[in-house]
Amino acid sequence: MDIVLLLIVAASGLCAVSSTAGRQYHFIYDLKNMTEAQSYCREHYTDLATIDNMDDVNTLNNMTDLSQMVDSAYSYRAWIGLYDDVDSWRWSLSDRSFYGLGETEFRQWYPGQPDNAYDQLCTCIKSKGLWIDYFCKYKLKSVCMDVRGPNVTFVLNNNLMTWTQAQDYCREHHTDLASVRNKAENKKVKELLPSGQDIWIGLFRDSWKWSDGSNSSFRYWLPGEPTVKNKPCVAANFNNSGKWENWNCDLKRAFICQLTKQVIKLSVLKDSSLDLNDPAVVEQVLKQIKQRLKDQGVNEDIKLSWRKQSDGKIFHKDEKETEKRKKREL
């Protein structure tokens, strides 16, 4: 992210008075797969494009040069930053102290599972003790666990519930939905299974995410999308109003990057002997701001710069504040 600083001067001592963020989109018509496109955008801009609303959709539709997107390999489609996070499997009980080395990664998947079919974000265990990913909205029995220090007891919940309902139930009446950390625990859970029935355990994963970490819930799917499994990346189809389709990430497409800029207005408070027209002073102030941001944990790859006004100056006195100060001094 680039941060552009506009400093308003009233005296000395820096204080941020307002902040606005803006996003610039950039179409890249070179063909790349999703991983290559993401790397390119992060190197040359900020990230792959996040789309927050219909205004963003309209902006992209107006920007698109369809004459550069006629190649049969991608037919007016361009990668955006949305993807299905198929590798985000984790346990409902997140307490790291509960798990030994490698135990959060223990899996006992049925052959061919997880198949990452759309919206199969939860896990159930079948009669042979093997796991499958499944639709969280379906109602099944579940296995809860009671954790007492190092001791774990698994308890069958015979009520038919969705995965989320089962999670709520287990957290209210026990510790949580069952975490299965090893083969021995998997055997114990298997022994609780009613004959021929599948039951929920505590493993689940996230669904669609934005490459830049945005929490935007806006979606603009083409009717019928997203479709079948193993297509976890999203492209906008600009031959169809920029509506979204999910595709295999290895396919090569054009792509859209975004450059995110944040403009922060600052004030210098109190009287100051600083020569704010001295380039060395300006540079020193910028260094101090960078250090302050770093101390607050802001990513080091953020670029800071001053914005010059139409007269070529960075600093301007706030005449209203100056007038108020003079009146107070009378």
Per-residue tens of pLDDT for the chain, all 330 residues? 554 444 433 333 444 434 445 789 999 999 999 999 999 999 999 999 999 999 999 999 999 999 888 776 678 999 999 999 888 999 999 999 999 999 999 999 999 999 877 689 999 999 899 999 999 999 999 999 999 988 999 999 999 999 999 999 999 999 999 999 999 999 999 999 999 999 999 999 988 999 999 888 899 999 989 886 778 999 999 999 999 999 999 999 999 999 987 656 666 654 556 666 677 777 777 777 777 767 766 555 566 666 666 666 766 666 665 566 555 555
Q: What is residue 129's predicted lDDT score, i.e. its pLDDT?
A: 96
3-class SS at 283?
helix
Q: What is residue 244's predicted lDDT score, i.e. its pLDDT?
A: 98
3-class SS at 17?
strand
Q: What is residue 117's predicted lDDT score, i.e. its pLDDT?
A: 76
3-class SS at 284?
helix
CA dist 26 and 77 (Å) reads 14
Q: What is residue 10's predicted lDDT score, i.e. its pLDDT?
A: 35
Continuous H helices in 33-110: 34-44, 54-63
Give residue for tokens 């950390």. Answer: 181
3-class SS at 237?
strand
Q: CB neighbours of 207 closer than 8 A, spacing ≥ 6?
A: 84, 85, 119, 121
Q: Two tokens at 224?
A: 């019928």
Percent helix, percent strand, percent coil in the chain, to nearest 5: 25, 35, 40
CA dist 253 and 32 (Å) reads 5
Phi, psi of 48 (to 5 degrees): -65, 155
Fold that domain 1-85+207-330 belongs to in CATH: Mannose-Binding Protein A; Chain A (3.10.100)
Pairing state between β 2-9 and 303-306: parallel
The residue among 184, 176, 198, 178 whose CA lies nearest residue 130 is 198
CA distances from 37 to 29, 42, 127, 199, 253 (A): 11, 9, 43, 40, 9
Continuous H helices in the chain: 34-44, 54-63, 163-173, 183-192, 279-295, 319-329
In one-letter notation, the amino acid at residue 179 is S
Q: Two tokens at 209?
A: 């995410």
Q: What is residue 280's predicted lDDT score, i.e. its pLDDT?
A: 79
Q: What is residue 6's predicted lDDT score, i.e. its pLDDT?
A: 44
Q: Two tokens at 292?
A: 């302050």
Give, in degrees to the nearest 5, the angle at Cα 227 between 127 and 255.
130
Could you tell me the residue ranges of all domains in the chain? 1-85+207-330, 90-204
Reading phi first (left if > 0) and then psi (alpha if -120 to 50, else beta), residue 29 is in alpha
The residue among 32, 5, 35, 37 whose CA lies nearest residue 19 is 5
CA dist 280 and 47 (Å) reads 33
The answer to whether 267 touches 50, Cβ cutoff 8 Å, is no
Distance of CA 228 to the CA centre of its chain: 23
